[in-house]
Amino acid sequence: MGSADLVAQAKRAAAFAAVNKHVTPDVRVLGVGTGSTVVFVVERLAELRAQGQLHPELVCVPTSFQSSQLIVAAGLRPAELNDLPADGDGLHAPIDVTIDGADEVDAELNVIKGGGAAHLREKVVAAASRALVIVGDSTKDARVLGDKWAGGVPVEVAPLAWRTAKAQIERIALPGAFELAAPAATLRQAVRKAGPVVTDNGNFVLDVCFGRIHDPPAVERRVMMVPGVVEVGIFSGMACEAWFGNEDGTIACRIPQSMAKKHE
Ligand SMILES: O=C(CO)[C@H](O)[C@H](O)COP(=O)(O)O
């Protein structure tokens, strides 16, 4: 088996394990992430549906055009977040659980997302969920963000502001929060289309390299303050569990390190 096949197999194993644990027949509203690992999440959902093991009224909230297409192709029912009834606790977290991929995950399960430029909807859906579960292959599993992922932090920006936002992000100084003396931002270019990537929301994406990120919440908050920034691809403190598939066929499940210590 080639290396790409092994990585796909690892992603599939993690996706199947997460669905098996979290998408029980009592789950009524499910958030569905975006990316190549999520393809396997939906593959497993289709199997469970065929076996009659899903809630008969299950609806799936997509996080992108791709995610919506996968849901429909699998015979599952898509739902818009705004159309879901409010829950009793006033937090408006009507989604039971969301399963999504990631570009990198640190020891506390802070996550970099947006490799597929879907992080705005992914974060909105994650924030409306009672649990966010991450799936991926073991290359995503890091101690500190930036240890492995060299693609930078995706930042969705309004097209009219991309140059000013880029300049202001590159001037961010947060002593101790990240490794580089100054962040470096690049406008993401499209493949097989001249010009920049345009997100599902009609915006552009800056990929911002900070080096290793020691304080993800501080970086996330600071970048969000730049005018024109729509969303930052750092998800701090949102994920409760991550599943990583290894190329040897084994799977690892992690919870935030601080929570694991409390249980020791
Ligand atoms: O954040 C994402 C899309 O915006 C993806 O979940 C992330 O890029 C991981 O993708 P893949 O499962 O293809 O490795």
Tokens (6 digits) for 191 = 């493949």
pLDDT at residue 65, rounded to an integer: 98
Ligand 1 lined by 100 (C-beta under 6 Å): yes
pLDDT at residue 263, rounded to an integer: 73
Give the helix ranges, DSSP H, for the chain.
3-22, 36-50, 65-73, 119-127, 162-170, 216-224, 257-262
Query: Is 231 a catalytic site residue?
Result: no
Residue with tokens 């991550």: 242
pLDDT at residue 156, rounded to an integer: 98
Q: Which of 113, 230, 231 to mutate to test the pocket of ligand 1 (most atoms within 8 A of CB)?
A: 113
Residue with tokens 């598939």: 245
Ligand 1 center to 135 CA (angstroms): 9
Q: How many helices (H) and strands (E) does the chain have?
A: 7, 14
Residue 91 in this model has a pLDDT that exceeds 70: no
Per-residue pLDDT of 22-51, as tens digits, reads 999 999 999 999 999 999 999 999 999 999
Residue 231 in this model has a pLDDT that exceeds 90: yes
Ligand 1 center to 245 CA (angstroms): 15
pLDDT at residue 22, rounded to an integer: 98
Q: How much of the chain, in percent, has pLDDT values that exceed 70?
A: 98
Determine contact, residues 134/105, Cβ cutoff 8 Å: yes
Work out which ligand 1 atom sits closest to the CA atom of 33: 6
Q: How far is CA 150 from the centre of its chain?
A: 16
- Measured between its terminal Cα atoms, the distance across the chain in Å is 39
Look at 88-97, 171-180, 187-196, 199-208 and tell me which has the smallest mean pLDDT.
88-97
- Higher pLDDT pick, 125 / 264: 125
Q: Which of 9, 11, 12, 37 to mutate to test the pocket of ligand 1 (most atoms within 8 A of CB)?
A: 37
Ligand 1 center to 226 CA (angstroms): 24
Q: Which of 34, 38, 232 to mutate to test the pocket of ligand 1 (most atoms within 8 A of CB)?
A: 34
Residue 1 in this model has a pLDDT that exceeds 90: no
Give the ipTM: 0.99
Of the listed 122, 156, 220, 231, which one is catalytic?
A: 122
pLDDT at residue 169, rounded to an integer: 98
Mean pLDDT, residues 153-170: 98
β-strands 204-209, 153-157 pairing: antiparallel
Q: Bridge-partner residues for 196, per DSSP?
A: 189
pLDDT at residue 86, rounded to an integer: 74
* Among 42, 25, 24, residue whose Cα is nearest residue 33: 42
Work out which ligand 1 atom sits closest to the CA atom of 37: 12
pLDDT at residue 88, rounded to an integer: 63
Ligand 1 center to 33 CA (angstroms): 8
CA distance 185 to 183: 7
Cβ-Cβ contacts under 8 Å for 239 (sequence gap 6 or more): 102, 105, 109, 110, 111, 126, 132, 133, 134, 256
- Higher pLDDT pick, 164 / 93: 164
Determine contact, residues 247/6, Cβ cutoff 8 Å: yes
Residue with CA at minimum distance from ligand 1 atom 8: 115
Per-residue pLDDT of 97-146, as tens digits, reads 999 999 999 999 999 999 999 999 999 999 999 999 999 999 999 999 99
Per-residue pLDDT of 63-72, as tens digits, reads 999 999 999 9
Q: How much of the chain, in percent, has pLDDT values that exceed 90?
A: 92
pLDDT at residue 92, rounded to an integer: 75
Work out which ligand 1 atom sits closest to the CA atom of 36: 13
The kind and range of the H/E element at 57 are: none
Please provide the average confidence, as pLDDT, over all residues in the chain.
Answer: 96
Q: Can you tell me whether residue 73 is helix, strand or coil?
A: helix
Tokens (6 digits) for 246 = 């290894």
pLDDT at residue 90, rounded to an integer: 64
Ligand 1 lined by 101 (C-beta under 6 Å): yes
Residue 13 in this model has a pLDDT that exceeds 90: yes
pTM (predicted TM-score): 0.96
